[in-house]
Structure 1
Amino acid sequence: MIDRRFVRTALIGLCAFLTSGCWDQVPIEERGFVIGVAIDFPRSSAAEETAEKEAPDRPEGRWRFLVTHQFVVPGGLVSGSQQRGVQGSANEAFLNLASEGDSLLEISSELATRSSRFPFYQHLKVLIISEEVAKANHAFADALDFFLRDPELRRSSKVMIAKGDARPVLEISPINEKLPAMYINAVAENIQKNARILPEIWLGECHENLMNEHSFVLPRITSNEKEVKVAGAAVFNGKSNRMVGFLGEEETEGLNFLTDRVKGGMLKAVLDRELVTFNIESASRKIKADTRHKERMRFVYTITCEGVIDETFKPMNYLSKDALKTLQDHLAKEIERMARDTIRKVHKQMKTDVLGLGTYLKQEHPHLWKQLKHDWDYGRNYFASSEIDVKATVYIRNVGEINTTETRSRNEVR
């Protein structure tokens, strides 16, 4: 026979289980959804900061940050029209709040004194760091620490480096979007349309690079009042975790070819002073190395690219094998030129391996890598003393719907 006290206790426990709720549950209407964050150094206290940094008793790595949070204003998303010029107006879909402090947690807590909704970072799309913060000693890693430790935040948030200050990037007013952070997030994903866009780098990848002391790159972003431009790259040295400089747009395209990250885009070739444009459909690269002498190792990149002719101003018969071979060679030389410009910048000037050669040695020559990994692109810097070359091959798979173009002289066009 079942004990009545046992049944009573079981029923009470079951009722408590069914009626209990999460102890930390927050109603969705009370959440302050943050979709974008920009991190700068405060401009108003620059002189004070300089004095503090030079003080002998200042703790190493301590910085004061100016952080801008972009909150979603749900009412603005459903409004028929969006008022411009006054952030936080009745029809605005976002609200930017900026605050400064010695730590990101302090800044996040300070926002509770100014906003009815406490910051909630689970839907953070973009984290934008200023050029100045990225170059300062320890500041970049310190700025990321809060976001890496927050259990609510997804590690798939995109990280970018602003040319100049980061705050103005979140203050743009894009014409075709209501949320600047969502607009920036979408632009950064257009890597299949333009090879000068660096593939997105997530917060989790940044953490991995910081922990492993791997040199790495992050997308560069610039802005004006109406729009942003995501092109170029910021180069970080893996030992110091500081930014050492920017790569331009063509140099970034060359880097994408060298690191096997080209997803699409276009190439231009000039043949007899006439322009031909080539749409990239696929690209790959291989590395061969001569490692017999670690003081002067030699690496050769072999890049293969395939695509179609999308536009041309050069009158010629595109079914001719000789004509296609000439055009393919010109396109290949263009890839080699961009790649060599990139190699010259990161190899000779920055002396920082963001070309993937350290990873290649670790995978293909593990015993050698153990000998030189602590002196690869710092210390003795075997990377800087190596030789690097590149060879490219282009295959035109299609010339479009027409095979020949109009024959004309330049004088006739003019």
Structure 2
Amino acid sequence: MADRRFVRTALIGLCAFLTAGCWDQVQIEERGFVIGVAIDFPRSTAAEEKADREAPDKPEGRRRFLVTHQFVVPGGLVSGAQERGIQNSANQAFLNLASEGDSLLEISSELATRSSRIPFYQHLKVVIISEAVARSNYAFADALDFFLRDPELRRSSKVMIAKGDARPVLEISPRNEKLPAMYINSVAENIRKTARMVPEVRLGEVHENLVNELSFALPRITSNENEVKVAGAAVFHGQSNRLVGFLGEEETEGLNFLTDRVKGGMLKTAVGRDLVTFNVQTASRDIRADIRHKERMRFVYTITCEGVIDESFKRLNYLNENATKTLQDNVAKEIERLARDTIRKVHKQMKTDVLGLGSHLKQKHPHLWKQIKYDWDHGRNYFASSDIDVKANVFIRNVGEVNMTETRDRLEVR
């Protein structure tokens, strides 16, 4: 009996040993690391578009996507040829594969028939969506649905909107980076040097805005053969979940001041006919709301900004209180100009609340918000009928190491 128990125990232990462990593991060298995705509509002829519309068995809302995946080629990252400056397709550190289909899951599955490594998305850095997809009804949300549902994907991937097609953005050849997607990812993080780009917006944030039907802005990206430019903003309407227009670089700067998302940057202002450059160190904003009449609410932004003088072509004694006050007022007027240009664009033209006023009402005046939330920037559009003004206060904390009055004679001698 004891022998039987020993044999039984040994068999159970052996089975547990054989069935335990990482039975479904995939070796790292077998993974196809996807670091960038670009989503477009495929180019089709007028006849094909007409046939699609007239197809009796075509489900309503069905559309085709052209998706470009950027894979990492590990051998290209350590290629001796690249170190010597030789560029050719054999030693590239990335591979772009494009495929077309009705769904992104179908496209991802189809890539497995063409690549030796199946797509692996846990290291996905950027998702770039074309202007056409972003403007089409529901296509933007449909394009992101796969990324939001797949548990393999992280919600920290950055989302950007291409001005034009998205695919060319992943096909650039940056001179200082081997992987275009990593180069794009790094450019998008330079928000402490400029306020003319929207701070990075991640997939999880986009999902939250879509679920809550909140209007929002995403970074705009353009490209040429060797580089990209992440500047400006793409404005999305919260109810329709589609792109309604773009903000220029200065309008984006104003938007960042109004939404309290300025991390740094510089402002140029004129003193007389000369230029002075103000380096922003901190910025904050406060909102005061007069809600006595919901059909004509009034909002006043107060923007407070601190910084230093980094460059001056004006010969002034900045240690003089009057000179400093004049410069502070000039910088404040520049901030007010930027903010009012942005307000004019989103408030009067787009009529879309990317300024965060709806969120302010929801937090500070919840009873009123319950009454008007379905008519805020759609329906009756109380947002468009409101009045919005802005006031800026600027404080110069440092004028640099040079007092121009004291060194004026030496500069003129030069």
- Normalised by the shorter chain, which TM-score bucket? over 0.9
For the structure 1 residues 291 and 80, does the alpha-carbon distance in structure 2 shift closer, same or farther, using more than 3 Å as the test?
A: same
2:91 match: secondary structure: coil
Residue 109 of structure 2 aligns to a residue whose secondary structure is helix
Structure 1 residues 273 and 356, CA, compared in 2 at 3 Å: closer, same or farther? Answer: same
The 5 Å alignment of 1:323-334 reads: 323-334=323-334
Shift of 1:60: 2.9
How many pairs align?
Answer: 407
Native 8 Å contact 2:163 2:220 kept in 1: yes
Residue type at the aligned position of 1:365: H
Question: Residues 142-190 of structure 1, C-alpha deviation per residue, up to 9 Å, x if partnerless?
Answer: 1001111111110100000000000000000000000000000000000
Question: TM-score by structure 1 length?
Answer: 0.94
The SS at the match of 1:124 is coil
**Alignment RMSD:** 2.0
Identical amino acids, percent of aligned pairs:
78
1:196 and 2:196 correspond: yes
Q: Which residue of 2 aligns with 1:34?
A: 34
What residue number does 1:402 align with?
402
- Paired letter, 2:344: R
User: Cα deviation per residue 1:38-85 (whole Å; 9 max; x = unaligned)?
Assistant: 000111456523542466764332110110000000000011343776
What is the SS of the residue equivalent to 2:148? helix
In 2, distance between residues paired with 1:59 and 1:275?
60
Per-residue deviation at 1:90?
2.5
**1:281 aligned residue:** 281
Q: Hey, what's the Cα distance between the residues in 2 that align with 1:245 and 1:220?
A: 11
AA in 2 matched with 1:263: K
The residue that corresponds to 1:267 in the other structure is: 267
What is the CA–CA distance in structure 2 between the aligned matches of 1:45 and 1:23, rounded to whole Å? 48
1:230 aligns with 2:208: no
Maintained 8 Å contact 1:316/1:407: no
Instruction: Give the secondary structure class of the aligned counterpart of 1:154.
Output: coil
Q: Which amino acid aligns with 1:132?
A: A
The verdict on how the C-alpha distance between 1:320 and 1:32 changes in structure 2, with shifts beyond 3 A counting, is: same
Q: In structure 2, what residue type is equivalent to 1:239?
A: Q
Residues 156 and 255 of structure 1: is their aligned pair in 2 closer, same or farther, counting only changes over 3 Å? same
Paired AA for residue 385 in structure 1: S
Alignment of 1:152-163 (within 5 A): 152-163=152-163
1:64, 1:260 → 2: CA distance?
Answer: 38
Give SS of 1:90's match. Answer: helix
After TM superposition, give the deviation of residue 404 of structure 1 in Å: 2.1
User: Structure 2: how far apart are the matches of 1:291 and 1:54?
Assistant: 50
Distance 1:297 1:7 in 2: 83
Displacement after TM superposition at 1:110 (Å):
1.3
Matched with 2:385 is: 385
Aligned counterpart, 1:349: 349
1: CA distance, partners of 2:288 / 2:345: 21
In the alignment, the residues of structure 1 paired with residue 310 and residue 216 of structure 2 have an alpha-carbon distance, to the nearest angstrom, of: 34
**1:106-145 to 2 correspondences below 5 Å:** 106-145=106-145
Gaps of 5+ in 1: none
Alpha-carbon separation, structure 1, partners of 2:14 and 2:194:
59
1:3, distance to aligned residue in structure 2 (A): 6.8
CA pair 109-291 structure 1, distance change in 2 beyond 3 A: same
Shift in alpha-carbon separation, 1:325–1:111, aligned structure 2, 3 A: same
Give the Cα separation in 2 of the matches to 1:21 and 1:58.
Answer: 46
Moved more, 104-113 or 8-17: 8-17
How many angstroms apart in 2 are the aligned matches of 1:22 and 1:203? 30
CA distance in 2, matches of 1:183, 1:47: 39
Describe the shift of the 1:9–1:303 C-alpha distance in structure 2 as closer, same or farther (beyond 3 A).
farther
> Which residue number corresponds to residue 257 of structure 2?
257
Counterpart position of 1:99: 99
C-alpha separation between the residues in 1 aligned to 2:11 and 2:291? 73
Match of 1:371 in 2: 371
Q: What aligned pairs does 1:26-105 form with structure 2 within 5 A after superposition?
A: 26-45=26-45, 47-53=47-53, 58-82=58-82, 86=88, 89-105=89-105
Secondary structure of the residue that 1:401 maps to in structure 2?
A: coil
Distance 2:96 2:137 in 1: 28
Structure 2 counterpart of 1:77, one-letter code: L
Per the TM alignment, residue 105 of structure 1 is displaced from its structure 2 partner at its CA by 1.1
Instruction: Specify whether residues 382 and 51 from structure 1 end up closer, same or farther in structure 2 by C-alpha distance, changes over 3 A only.
Output: farther
Instruction: Give the 3 Å change call, closer, same or farther, for CA 6–322 of structure 1 in structure 2.
Output: farther
Letter in 2 for 1:49: E
Q: TM-score, normalised by structure 2?
A: 0.94
The answer for unaligned runs of 5 or more in structure 2 is none
Flag the 1:13–1:398 CA change in 2: closer, same or farther, 3 A.
Answer: farther
